[in-house]
Amino acid sequence: MKKTFTLTLTKTILSFAFLALVLSGNVSYGQQAGTDSESGKHLVKWNVAALALKNYSFQYEQAIGRKTAVALGLRFMPKSSMPFSTLLKNGIDDDQAWESIKDFKTGNFSITPEFRYYFGESVFQGFYVAPFVRYARYNADLPFNYEYQQNGTTIKGTMDFNGGVDTFTGGVLIGAQWSLSKSISLDLWIIGPNYGIASGNIAGKKALNSMEQDELRKALNDDLGDLPLVKTKYTVDGNGAKIDFDGPWAGVRSGLSIGYRF
């Protein structure tokens, strides 16, 4: 009895990019720089641009000097389907590949402390540079659909992979902030490249016979070799498969926040 087993392993690369926003014209400030000390030294902000990627992103910033501040950011995404899934579906010509990833769900959490130096006349005003570090956890549920032939019959099945990756990165954010009124501000994160390390795993549990195990090892060996940056190690046995990830991690911060000063 001859069996052929096929499995498409889809690699999901999380990438976050926004178009640079160009602001022109004059901004009318609610206060003059000379009376800025009368304003509050605290800002709470909501990154409204992150909603496009199903993320909820908030930041607290506190002035510690005339041109310096510290900030702490929190971001989370409840586990859900991929952002822009309709556009992704239209961009994939391979129906089998789409079937393999259409039920993919992902979520994340991150915490980001940073230090800011403003080049304007006072803190919270004008262009700034902000060194930062970030811890992030990315979770994923990925059902893999597969099929194989047995005695002339096509047998279909699914192996549910789930797990996550922890990342630690550091970088520098370049941005600009404006006061729209005494209490309301606009903070543009122009670009914040960051780089660091990542580790984690995803695993799927399913009873596999020896032929299925051999074919799965071949598929993992072929597909995982194309992943950039991270190193991978996989194990396959009669109870399923596990893939370990370890290596560099890169990302980019960008966004547009509305803030309240007090």
pLDDT in tens, the chain (262 residues): 434 433 333 333 223 323 222 232 333 333 333 335 457 999 999 999 999 888 999 999 999 999 999 999 999 999 887 666 666 656 665 565 556 566 778 899 999 999 999 999 999 999 999 999 999 999 988 877 767 777 778 777 778 889 999 999 999 999 999 999 999 999 999 999 999 999 999 999 989 888 788 877 877 777 676 666 678 888 999 999 998 999 999 999 999 999 999 9
User: What pLDDT is stored for residue 4 in this prediction?
Assistant: 41
User: What pLDDT is stored for residue 205 in this prediction?
Assistant: 92
User: What pLDDT is stored for residue 93 in this prediction?
Assistant: 59
User: What pLDDT is stored for residue 151 in this prediction?
Assistant: 79
Nearest Cα residue to 195 out of 118, 257, 136, 107: 136
User: What pLDDT is stored for residue 2 in this prediction?
Assistant: 39
Measure the CA–CA gap between 27 and 179, rounded to whole angstroms.
Answer: 8
Nearest Cα residue to 221 out of 204, 243, 203, 206: 243
User: What pLDDT is stored for residue 89 in this prediction?
Assistant: 59
User: What pLDDT is stored for residue 87 in this prediction?
Assistant: 61
Spatial neighbors of 222 by CB under 8 A, at least 6 apart, are none
Show the beta-strand stretches assigned E in 42-125. 42-47, 56-63, 68-81, 105-118
CA distances from 174 to 13, 54, 120, 205 (A): 24, 23, 14, 44
User: What pLDDT is stored for residue 16 in this prediction?
Assistant: 30
CATH of 3-16+39-261, one of 2.40.160, 3.10.260, 2.60.40, 3.40.50: 2.40.160
Measure the CA–CA gap between 3 and 184, rounded to whole angstroms.
Answer: 66
Count Cβ atoms below 10 Å from residue 72 Cβ, excluding itself.
Answer: 14
